Amino acid sequence: MKIFIFCFILVNSLFASEYYAKLEPIESYKVKASVSGKVVYSNSKIEGFKANNSRIIELDSKVNQMDLAQSRNKLKYINEMIAIENNNYNRLKKVSSKSAFEKDTQKLKIINLRSSKADMIIKIENLKDTIKNKKLIEKMNYISMISVKKGDYVNPGTLLYESMDLSKAKLEIFVPILEVEDLRNKTIYIDGVKSDIKINKIYNTADTQHISSYKVQLLVPNVKVFSRLVKIEFK
């Protein structure tokens, strides 16, 4: 009986360091609209391919562009008005016959113009941000899905497309809490082949589903085929 129990513990210990997980992209993104607008461009041809500083989605920004141009003109006019009123105020201060009320009134004009200038600067920056957010460009991520087409109207929060970072893959496994420390210095084998892969991250709180385990993440470089199941061993 003692021999049987010992063998069971030994076999269980051997299999405790063997896991299976899928090779997944290191990051996956769901890109949603931050502003509303009509879709004027949808790069459906890039779906299923890797981007290269590619325009993916663009929303109509014609009115925003016009508003930005006019706002910049208004800012220029406000600056000119401030310069004129400043000169008037400086001359007024030197005239002893002018009352304090007249001088304060002139100063108030300048304050109001400066306030208008600050509001206009904020408006211009908001317009620039809006225009930028209406043209979405991906540098190098893989475009897995585009969910809108030309002519669609989107609101903030509408899913536009999904992309993935394929520069590395991640493997996530769930290891019993008491066994995690024993894995830190062990060699990792992938599908029976010795590797140089190290543990990237250990989430030191129990998983909500695997309540007696910690999630352990491994990073794998130079992956050719994603979403395939691999065997992970710690020896």
17-59+139-234: CATH, from 1.10.3720.10, 2.40.50.100, 3.30.200.20, 3.30.420.40? 2.40.50.100
**Range with the lowest mean pLDDT among 31-35, 57-61, 114-118, 175-179?**
175-179
Better-scored residue on pLDDT, 94 or 51: 51
Q: Residues 70-91: pLDDT tens digits?
A: 999 999 999 999 999 999 999 9
What confidence tier does 15 reach under pLDDT thresholds 50, 70, 90? very low
Percentage with pLDDT > 90 across the chain: 76
Q: What percentage of the chain reaches a pLDDT higher than 70?
A: 92
pLDDT band per the 50, 70, 90 thresholds, residue 184:
confident
Lookup result for tokens 């493997």: 171
Question: Band of the pLDDT at 207, cuts 50, 70, 90?
Answer: low
The ranges assigned to domains in the chain are 17-59+139-234, 62-133
Model confidence at 13: pLDDT above 90: no
* The CA-based dihedral angle spanning residues 143, 229, 234, 16, taken in that order and rounded to the nearest 10 degrees: 130
CA-based angle 226:232:234, to the nearest 5? Answer: 150
pLDDT at 3 over 50: no
- Rounded Cα distance, 50 and 151, in Å: 24
Look up residue 167 and give its two tokens.
Answer: 């520069």
State the CB neighbour count (10 A cutoff) for residue 161.
24
Examine the pLDDT at 49 and tell me if it is beyond 50: yes
Q: Cα 27–178–9 angle (5° rounding)?
A: 120
CA 41/CA 231 separation, integer angstroms: 43
CA nearest neighbour of 125 among 175, 72, 74, 85: 72
Q: What is the spatial distance between Cα 226 and Cα 165, in angstroms, rounded to a whole number?
A: 11
- Tell me what the mean pLDDT of segment 197-208 comes to: 84
Q: What is the mean pLDDT of residues 119-128?
A: 98
The yes-or-no verdict on residue 192 having pLDDT over 60 is: yes
Tell me what pLDDT residue 121 has: 98
As a whole number, the mean pLDDT across the chain is 90
Instruction: Tell which residue, 198, 174, 165, 229, has the closest CA to residue 23.
Output: 229
Mean pLDDT of 61-66: 97
In the predicted structure, residue 9 carries a pLDDT above the cut 50: no
Q: DSSP for 85-151?
A: HHHHHHHHHH-TTS-HHHHHHHHHHHHHHHHHHHHHHHHHHHHHHHHHHTEEEESS-EEEEE---TT
User: What pLDDT does residue 72 have?
Assistant: 98
- The neighbour count for residue 233, using CB atoms within 10 Å, is 19
Mean pLDDT of 120-135: 97
Q: Would you say 61 and 131 are in contact if contact means Cβ atoms under 8 Å apart?
A: yes
Confidence at residue 205, expressed as pLDDT on a 0 to 100 scale: 79
Higher pLDDT, 143 or 177: 143
Q: Rounded to whole angstroms, how far apart are CA atoms 25 and 81? A: 56
pTM, two decimals, is: 0.77
* Backbone phi and psi for residue 199, each to the nearest 5 degrees, phi listed first: -65, 125
pLDDT at 211: 75
Distance between the two ends of the chain, CA-based, in angstroms? Answer: 29
Contact present, 148 and 39 (Cβ < 8 Å): yes
